[in-house]
């Protein structure tokens, strides 16, 4: 479990990451609406439906179960996914930053 100080900062980091993620989802949806590779409206609808279904699963994995006990693993996944950068984690404890460092 993370410290109270890290928890307060993590909540803000997580909010910003969700905004970033949703922004990229909306961009993908916008591109899907005008995709010339999919010639029919029905085809675009099916594509967008699957796209949103997949993104819903990712949102659940990354952002649901908001608790201090799961914050470190969520932060690690957010960092691995490129949704959090070094500027975002400034102010977190060195221990939390090190334990959630991306593998790549």
Ramachandran bin of 20, using left for φ above 0, alpha for ψ from -120 to 50, beta for the remaining angles: alpha
The confidence score (pLDDT) of residue 102 equals 86
The confidence score (pLDDT) of residue 36 equals 85
pLDDT at 33 over 80: yes
In 3D, which of 93, 91, 87 has the Cα closest to residue 3? 93
Question: Could you give the angle at the alpha carbon of 58 between the alpha carbons of 52 and 61, nearest 5°?
Answer: 145
Mean pLDDT for the chain?
93
pTM: 0.87
Model pLDDT for residues 54-95, shown as the tens digit of each residue: 999 999 999 998 899 999 999 999 999 999 988 999 999 999
Per-domain residue ranges of the chain: 4-83
The confidence score (pLDDT) of residue 104 equals 66
In 3D, which of 64, 83, 86, 80 has the Cα closest to residue 25? 83
Q: Are 75 and 7 in contact (CB under 8 A)?
A: no
The confidence score (pLDDT) of residue 83 equals 96
């Amino acid at each position: 479990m993370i410290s109270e100080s890290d928890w307060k900062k993590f909540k803000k980091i997580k909010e910003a990451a969700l905004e970033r993620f949703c922004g990229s989802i909306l961009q993908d949806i916008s591109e899907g609406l005008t995709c010339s590779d999919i010639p029919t409206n029905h085809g675009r609808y099916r594509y967008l439906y699957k796209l949103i279904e997949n993104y819903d699963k990712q949102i659940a994995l990354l952002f649901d179960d908001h608790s201090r006990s799961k914050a470190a693993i969520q932060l690690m996944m957010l960092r691995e996914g490129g949704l959090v950068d070094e500027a975002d984690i400034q102010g977190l404890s060195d221990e939390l930053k090190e334990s959630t460092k991306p593998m790549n």
